């Protein structure tokens, strides 16, 4: 019996020795699983992060999490410092210390500003002082009132019968020539929502809408004015106070194994910010589960998968998450305009946007913006060819969105840079309904596993990606790199 057991043991040992070694690339790819995406979305798209606005304490919390995970993966800080972060600075508007002065009168009725029942929704760019001007009550019916004959303010019951967003309504009134808008309503819960919204800092940008000074009040005496009735108003509204604000790009470096090619860097990126919060009835948190918690989660999953390889690829890979995309590509512009590493070392950028909501015919495929401009899509497809997944041209969006995402500032500096999406431009885009429970996590797994193989191919090839010099527009991008001496 002992001899039989010994022979069986020797036979098993012989069989085990003949089993081929595991495929490290396949093991790393298979570590990218849908359950991880669900966990990551539960954090990035949670109500607690309040829509990840730039700037906000909640975006800072997301940045802390990203840095923690990159460090857990054993990836290096990047840049000249080096650091996991690059500060992105910008001017912000904050509420000033000065208070609003508002005195109104209609007949024998009169009243004043009451901070506990009111808030300033939108401040002027310069201090506004209006003395004894006409205040007209108006019942909004979807059409703007006639333009005022002189400096005047309008008292508008809210919500409007037509149901437009308040900014659109106020913008229309500003075009009519109204100096100030006073919205009245009775819902104290909505007032608290508006007070929280109005107290948050916002980026001081020429892109911001130019609206009349807009105030909100739940004062019963103002709410009861009959439509078209008139009174007198004295109003003083301090302008925004401009301060310095900042958020961070967060990234980490996987150094390549080849002594020469490791000097070249492939940037894999996504923006981790969204549009924050609104105010009003119902859910006003813009969670941004697809836009772009899905891309942020993809960068983390790719970083973890690459860090698990027994050998790093030949080129270095920088996993980078940008802030401020929703405010005008602020993070990616900072990366190229004030680089903390030589841009000449960056050979390509694959930026990931909205991979969680596939269209009806998107199973087994994703799409690349500006795919005809370079061989990036071709390289990605070569890497994942064995899986049957394909990165294609999207006839509606590939060309248009090349110029609208974080890849574009890098392309403007001559770097072959494209965004990859695995989804659709759905009705929940930039709405509070872009929630984690609407994502297709199996599809996200499929897209990112294919991306992993394609990116590995890109990091391994002897030659870096190239612009398509037969395309006139791509030729212009290539010339910018050549003229800067970057390559």
Sequence-distant (≥ 6) Cβ neighbours of residue 284 within 8 angstroms = 193, 197, 277, 278, 432
User: From CA 52, how far away is CA 285, in angstroms rounded?
Assistant: 10
Residue 364 to residue 390: CA distance in whole angstroms: 7
- Topology adopted by domain 25-93+244-484: Aminopeptidase (3.40.630)
Q: How far apart are CA 262 and CA 345, in angstroms?
A: 9
Q: Give the per-residue pLDDT at 10.
A: 43
Q: What residues have CB less than 8 Å from 213, skipping those under 6 apart?
A: 120, 122, 123, 124, 128, 179, 180, 181, 235, 237
At residue 54, the pLDDT reads 97
The pLDDT, as a whole number, for residue 11 is: 44
Residue 41: how many CA atoms within 13 Å on its side-chain side? Answer: 27
Q: In what order do the strands lie in the sheet with 128-138?
A: 109-112, 101-106, 230-237, 128-138, 152-157, 180-184, 213-217, 118-122
**Phi and psi at residue 393, in whole multiples of 5°?**
-90, 130
Distances (CA, A) of 64 to 88, 267, 271, 352, 354: 15, 20, 15, 20, 22
For the chain, the straight-line distance linking the first and the last C-alpha, in angstroms and rounded, comes to: 72
Q: What is the pLDDT along the chain (487 residues), one digit of tens a residue?
A: 444 444 444 444 333 333 345 699 999 999 999 999 999 999 999 999 999 999 999 999 999 999 999 999 999 999 887 899 999 999 999 988 778 999 999 988 899 998 888 999 989 888 999 988 999 998 777 777 778 878 899 998 865 444 567 778 888 888 888 999 999 887 777 888 888 888 899 898 766 667 889 999 988 888 888 888 999 999 999 999 999 999 999 999 999 999 999 999 999 999 999 999 988 778 899 999 999 999 999 999 999 999 999 999 999 999 999 999 999 999 999 999 999 999 999 999 999 999 999 988 888 999 999 999 999 999 999 999 999 999 999 988 899 999 999 999 999 999 999 999 997 889 999 999 999 999 999 999 999 999 999 999 999 999 999 999 999 999 999 998 866 544 4
Domain range annotation of the chain:
25-93+244-484, 101-239
Quick one: which of 468, 272, 431 has its CA closest to 478?
468
Say how far apart CA 298 and CA 448 lie, in whole Å: 6
**CATH code that applies to domain 101-239:** 3.50.30
CB 145 within 8 Å of CB 137: no
Q: Which pLDDT score, from 0 to 100, does residue 1 have?
A: 47
Residue 147 exposed, middle or buried by CB count within 10 Å (0-12, 13-18, 19+): exposed
The predicted model scores a pTM of 0.89
According to DSSP, residue 404 is labeled S
Q: How many CB atoms lie within 10 A of CB 223?
A: 15
**What is the per-residue pLDDT for 164?**
61
- Cα separation, 269 vs 251, whole angstroms: 9
What span, in angstroms and rounded, lies between the C-alpha atoms of 269 and 391? 17
- Full 3-state SS string of 276-298: CECCCCCCCECCCHHHHHHHHHH
């Amino acid at each position: 019996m002992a001899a039989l057991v010994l022979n069986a043991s020797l036979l098993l040992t012989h069989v085990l020795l003949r089993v081929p070694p595991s495929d490290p690339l396949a093991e790393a790819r298979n570590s990218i699983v849908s359950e991880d995406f669900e966990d990551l979305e539960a954090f990035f798209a949670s109500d607690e992060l309040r829509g990840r606005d730039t700037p906000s304490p909640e975006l800072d919390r997301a940045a802390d999490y990203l840095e923690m995970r990159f460090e857990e993966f054993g990836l290096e800080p990047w840049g000249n410092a080096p650091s996991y972060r690059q500060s992105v600075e910008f001017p912000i508007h904050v509420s000033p210390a000065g208070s609003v002065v508002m005195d109104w009168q209609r007949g024998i009725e009169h009243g004043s500003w009451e901070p506990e029942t009111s808030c300033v929704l939108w401040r002027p760019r310069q201090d506004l002082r209006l003395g004894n001007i006409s205040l007209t009550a108006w019942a909004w019916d979807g059409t703007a009132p006639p333009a005022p004959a002189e400096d005047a303010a309008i008292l508008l019951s809210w919500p409007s019968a037509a149901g437009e967003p308040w900014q659109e309504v106020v913008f229309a009134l500003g075009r009519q020539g109204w100096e100030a808008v006073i919205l009245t309503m009775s819902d104290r819960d909505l007032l608290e929502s508006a007070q929280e919204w109005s107290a948050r800092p916002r980026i001081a940008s020429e892109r911001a809408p130019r609206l009349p000074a807009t105030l909100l009040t739940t004062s019963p005496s103002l709410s009861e004015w009959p439509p078209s009735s008139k009174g007198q108003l004295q109003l003083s509204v301090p302008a925004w106070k401009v301060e310095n604000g900042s958020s961070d790009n967060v990234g980490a470096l996987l150094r390549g194994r080849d002594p020469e090619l490791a000097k070249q860097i492939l940037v894999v990126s996504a923006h981790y910010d969204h549009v924050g919060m609104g105010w009003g009835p119902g859910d006003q948190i813009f969670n941004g589960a697809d836009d772009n918690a899905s891309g942020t989660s993809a960068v983390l999953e790719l970083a973890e998968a690459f860090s698990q390889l027994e050998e790093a690829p030949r080129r270095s890979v920088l996993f980078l998450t940008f802030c401020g995309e929703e405010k005008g590509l602020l993070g990616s512009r900072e990366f190229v305009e004030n680089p903390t590493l030589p841009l000449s070392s960056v050979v390509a950028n694959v930026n990931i946007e909205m991979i969680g909501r596939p269209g009806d015919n998107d199973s087994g495929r994703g799409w690349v913006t500006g795919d005809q401009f370079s061989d990036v899509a071709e390289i990605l497809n070569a890497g994942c060819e064995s899986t049957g997944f394909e990165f294609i041209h999207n006839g509606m969006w590939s060309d248009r969105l090349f110029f609208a995402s974080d890849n574009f500032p890098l392309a403007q500096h001559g770097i072959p840079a494209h965004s990859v999406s695995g989804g659709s431009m759905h009705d929940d885009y930039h709405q509070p309904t872009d929630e984690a429970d609407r994502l297709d996590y199996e599809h996200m797994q499929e897209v990112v596993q294919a991306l992993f193989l394609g990116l590995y191919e890109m990091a391994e090839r002897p030659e870096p990606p190239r612009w398509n010099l037969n395309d006139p527009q791509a030729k212009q991008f290539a010339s910018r790199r050549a003229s800067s001496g970057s390559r």
